[in-house]
């Protein structure tokens, strides 16, 4: 790991002021992604700003929803009583990700900010426009089994690796940021950006901004499920994952949210499938149609074509399991 300067900050404003002053600085909290990237030489900040002591750990139920501090750990969120009872989808998604140890370390803010696990991004001997802008993309003509079928560009086909964010996207979560320009509220579905011509920029966060909290609006969904398909049963990134939240009344879907992971550079909402489901009576045929609709605009590369039929089946199966769920 290349040596860096280290400093710790005690207030949110001190954090973004330090980032303004040192443009090649990185914030660190849980460190599960950043330390790994620094060891691999993927990133080598001149300064590391420790934000782990900021007062952003609390999880509080508010009038219209749940506010989760950016420094709450993934484990804290999954175990929180309100998350268990009112946002079981979030708990399920978090517990599908990483391992016990990583969930004890990783924070909500860090989970949202984590970088792709594309092997070409990680291998500094390979070209990668995300790591080294202008160097090319190793994955497009390389081994691209894990890569995107939605939202990619000519310069990058990497996927966002988070499970938690897929559930947050389905739950219309708002990301609260702070920086020199003040506070901003950004919908999670607009927080991560598509690669287009500059894949080095993962999110719309400005250079000095940091995530302070996320807010999940209260909802009336009474059925939900997070289905994750991976190469091994546990502790692996998703090939395809599906978050489902439904409001079902007397066998009819009155409202629905669907989001996918492992298929795009950001958590991928399935708006047209949601539209197709809303107001319909539950039938196996309806769920099959929603699966077909979900993957309608997908296009594959040499090794990831399997994700399209897998995605259809995963959406259908996740809907089925959501309806069978007790919440």
Partner 1 sequence: MIMSNAASSSKQKHTGRRLFIKKAVALTALSASPPLLIKAGEQDEFISSFFEKKDVNLNINGKTYSLSIEPRTTLLDLLREQLGLTGTKKGCDHGQCGCCTVHIEGKPVYSCLVLAVMQEGKKITTIEGLAQNENLHPVQKAFLKHDGFQCGFCTPGQIMNAVACVKNEEISTYDQIKEFMSGNLCRCGAYPNIIDAIMDVKKQGGAL
**Which residues form the interface with partner 1 (CB under 8 A)?**
1-6, 8, 28, 31-32, 35-36, 38-40, 48, 50, 52, 75, 98-102, 104-105, 233-235
CB of 73 to partner 1, least distance (A): 9
Could you tell me the smallest distance in angstroms from the CB atom of residue 245 to partner 1?
Answer: 23
Least Cβ distance, residue 161 to partner 1 (angstroms):
13
Residue with Cβ nearer partner 1 (185 or 233): 233
- CB-count burial class (<10 Å; 0-12, 13-18, 19+) for 325: middle
- C-alpha atoms less than 13 angstroms from C-alpha of 282 in its C-beta half-sphere: 19
Least gap, CB of 147 to partner 1 (angstroms): 20
Of 227 and 295, CB closest to partner 1: 227
Q: Rg of the chain over CA atoms, in angstroms?
A: 19
Cα 169 to Cα 188: distance, rounded to the nearest angstrom: 6
Which lies closer to partner 1 via its Cβ, residue 18 or residue 28?
28
Query: What φ, ψ does residue 199 adopt, rounded to 5°?
Result: -70, -10
Could you tell me the smallest distance in angstroms from the CB atom of residue 36 to partner 1? 5
Two structure tokens written together for 104: 């004890």
Least Å distance, CB 264 to partner 1, is 24
Nearer to partner 1, 48 or 108 (CB): 48
Based on CB atoms, which residue is closest to partner 1, 105 or 323?
A: 105
DSSP secondary structure letters along 30-89: S-TTHHHHHHHTS---SEEEE-TTSS---EEEETTEEEEETTSBHHHHHH-HHHHHH-HH
Bridge partners of 48? Answer: 6, 26
Residue 282 CA to residue 161 CA, distance in Å, equals 31
Nearer to partner 1, 27 or 268 (CB): 27
- DSSP-derived letter for residue 186 is E
């Amino acid at each position: 790991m290349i040596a860096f300067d280290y400093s710790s900050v005690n207030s949110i404003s001190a954090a973004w002021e330090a980032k303004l002053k040192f443009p090649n600085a990185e914030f660190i909290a849980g460190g599960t992604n950043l330390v790994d990237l620094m060891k691999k030489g993927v990133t080598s900040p001149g300064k590391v700003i420790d934000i782990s002591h900021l007062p952003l750990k609390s999880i509080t139920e508010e009038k219209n929803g749940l506010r989760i501090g950016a420094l709450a750990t993934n484990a804290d969120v999954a175990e929180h009583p309100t998350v268990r009872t009112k946002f079981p989808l979030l708990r399920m998604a978090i517990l599908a990700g990483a391992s016990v140890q990583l969930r004890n370390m990783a924070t909500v803010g860090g989970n949202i900010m984590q970088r792709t696990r594309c092997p070409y991004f990680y291998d500094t001997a390979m070209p990668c426009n995300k790591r080294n802008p202008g160097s090319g993309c190793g994955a497009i003509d390389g081994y691209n089994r894990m890569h995107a079928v939605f939202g990619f560009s000519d310069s990058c086909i990497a996927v966002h690796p988070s499970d938690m964010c897929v559930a947050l996207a389905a739950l219309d979560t708002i990301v609260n940021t702070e920086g020199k320009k003040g506070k901003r509220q950004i919908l999670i579905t607009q927080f991560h950006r598509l690669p287009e011509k500059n894949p080095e920029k993962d999110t719309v966060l400005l250079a000095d901004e940091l995530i302070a909290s996320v807010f999940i609006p209260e909802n009336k969904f009474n059925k939900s499920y997070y289905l994750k398909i991976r190469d091994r049963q546990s502790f692996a990134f998703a090939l395809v994952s599906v978050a489902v939240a439904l409001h079902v009344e007397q066998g009819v879907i009155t409202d629905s949210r669907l989001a996918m992971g492992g298929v795009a550079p950001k958590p991928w909402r399935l708006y047209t499938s949601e539209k197709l489901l809303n107001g319909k009576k539950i039938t196996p045929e309806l769920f099959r149609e929603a699966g077909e609709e979900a993957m309608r605009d997908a296009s594959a590369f040499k090794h990831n074509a399997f994700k399209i039929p897998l995605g259809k089946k995963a959406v259908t199966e996740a809907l089925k399991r959501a309806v069978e769920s007790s919440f």
